[in-house]
Amino acid sequence: MSIKRSRERQPDRIEFARSQRKQANEFSHDVWQMIRAGRMLSAKFKREYPIGPYTLDFVCIELKLNIEVDGQDHLTEEGKKHDADRDAYLRSLGYSVLRIPGFRVTQDPIRVRNEIESFVRQLRDRNKTSPSPPAPLPEAGRGEQEKKDD
Residue at 18 is within a domain: yes
Q: Per the structure, how many domains does the chain have?
A: 1
* Residue 141 located in a structural domain: no
Q: Has residue 131 been placed in a domain?
A: no
| CA dist., res. 97 & res. 71, Å (int) | 16
Does some domain include residue 148?
A: no
- The per-residue pLDDT string of the chain (150 residues; one tens digit each, 9 = 90 and over) reads 444 444 556 787 677 556 555 545 788 999 999 999 999 999 999 999 999 999 999 999 999 999 999 987 887 899 999 999 999 999 999 999 999 998 899 899 999 999 999 999 999 999 888 665 555 555 544 444 444 554
Q: Is residue 29 part of a domain?
A: yes
Question: Taking the CB of residue 32, how many other CB atoms lie within 10 A of it?
Answer: 20
Looking at residue 127, its pLDDT comes to: 87
pLDDT of residue 124: 96
Q: With respect to residue 42, please indicate whether it lies within any of the assigned structural domains.
A: yes
Instruction: Report how far residue 103's alpha carbon sits from residue 74's, in angstroms, rounded to the nearest whole number.
Output: 12
Q: Which of 36, 19, 30 is nearest to 103 (CA)?
A: 30
Q: In terms of residue numbers, what domain contains 34?
A: 5-126
Is 136 part of a structural domain of the chain?
no
**CATH label of the domain that carries residue 59:** 3.40.960.10
Entry pTM: 0.71
What was the pLDDT predicted at 87? Answer: 97
In-domain check, residue 87: yes
Instruction: Supply the DSSP symbol for 2.
Output: -
